[in-house]
Copies of this chain bind each other. A is one copy, B any other.
Amino acid sequence: MGSVQHVISMKPFSRQQIESILDLADSFEAEARGEKKSDLLAGKVLTALFYEPSTRTRLSFESAMVRLGGQVLSVADAKKTSSVWKGETLEDTILTIANYCDVIAMRHPQKGAAEIAASVSSVPILNGGDDANEHPTQALLDLLTIRRERGTIDGLTVTLVGDHAHSRVTNSLLFGLANYDVKVILVNPPSLAVSRETLKYVQDKGLSVEETSDLAAALTKTDVVYIFRIQKERFEDPEEYERVKGGYQLDRAMLEAAGREITVMHPMPRVDELSTDVDDMPGACYFRQSFNGVMLRMALLAWVLGKADLD
């Protein structure tokens, strides 16, 4: 399978590859908005294979495919509707589904599932999230968003707020940011810190990482703040959740108090960790961020299907 281009993890991506992908994504803006018709992927078929339902990630991949003239086969909830319940292995499922299409975007509840899929697949696998492990297409669209919002990634201080212990987005984004000259601040309750393995990996690559639980202080030196949901279920003690959650919520007053021009990102969906009173601040870019996901996935599809070269 050596010549098939999968996207499983952010670790293998070089800075130059990332920049090329972001350039390619930018080039698809008119097509992503439906203002320009494309036949680049005409005759090509994507299977969206989602073992966990995720309307937004699935639709983002599917939109990217049809915006480039391709076609989509959709499995919105593979756990309920597929052969999985009959005891089939993931390898068999992938070997079969690869017969129906040219590329597979998958989400799976087990860490390493995308790697297993790639090990047997004759068509490219795009990892749309494998448990708390990695979510490389999200990391790439986040990098695209930072670059589009700030004009550059280098030189910024990027603050990530939330449950970093269980976040595939944190892992993948840190692996991506490690290619840039940025300072990262991780804000989280002490019990929900990023894995020591991820931390060591990016620090060995030279990334500056600070860990804290003081969001207000972090904001005073932040250019980009990226906030995730902290799930109540992650706490053994529900009372501890109630005690700490306020420290990881963001609103307009906190952003104004920081006295800086701050870009605000969120992977969505949000519940109460990000106040809607932020929505009309100029730095609030989370809906643009979700649009950027379509452009970014167009770039990945064009690349892995051999229809676009990276510089």
Task: List A residues at the B interface (Cβ < 8 Å).
Answer: 34, 36-38, 42-45, 47, 53-56, 59-60, 62-63, 66-67, 71-78, 80-83, 86-88, 92-93, 95-97, 99-102, 229, 268-271, 287, 290-291, 293-294
A294 with B56: in contact, given A88-B269, A271-B88 (CB under 8 Å)?
no
| B66 & A81 in contact (Cβ 8 Å cutoff) | no
A67 to B96, CA, bound (A): 16
Residues of chain B lying within 8 A (CB to CB) of residue A88: 268-271
User: Could you tell me the distance in whole angstroms from the C-beta of A212 to the nearest C-beta in chain B?
Assistant: 27
A290 to B96, CA, bound (A): 6
Residues of chain B lying within 8 A (CB to CB) of residue A73: 59, 62-63, 66, 72
A294 with B99: in contact, given A75-B55, A270-B92 (CB under 8 Å)?
yes
A92 to B279, CA, bound (A): 10
| A76 & B76 in contact (Cβ 8 Å cutoff) | yes
Residues of chain B lying within 8 A (CB to CB) of residue A74: 74
A287 to B60, CA, bound (A): 30
Residues of chain B lying within 8 A (CB to CB) of residue A71: 66
User: Could you tell me the distance in whole angstroms from the C-beta of A141 to the nearest C-beta in chain B?
Assistant: 11
| B81 & A271 in contact (Cβ 8 Å cutoff) | no
A100 with B47: in contact, given A55-B82, A269-B86, A270-B92 (CB under 8 Å)?
no
Q: Which residue of B lies closest to A56 (CB)?
A: B96
User: Could you tell me the distance in whole angstroms from the C-beta of A121 to the nearest C-beta in chain B?
Assistant: 11
19 examples of A-B residue contacts, CB within 8 angstroms: A34-B102, A36-B43, A37-B42, A45-B67, A55-B75, A55-B83, A56-B96, A59-B75, A63-B99, A63-B101, A72-B73, A74-B74, A77-B80, A83-B269, A86-B229, A87-B269, A88-B268, A95-B287, A96-B287
Residues of chain B lying within 8 A (CB to CB) of residue A268: 83, 88, 92, 96
A307 to B30, CA, bound (A): 18
Residues of chain B lying within 8 A (CB to CB) of residue A229: 86
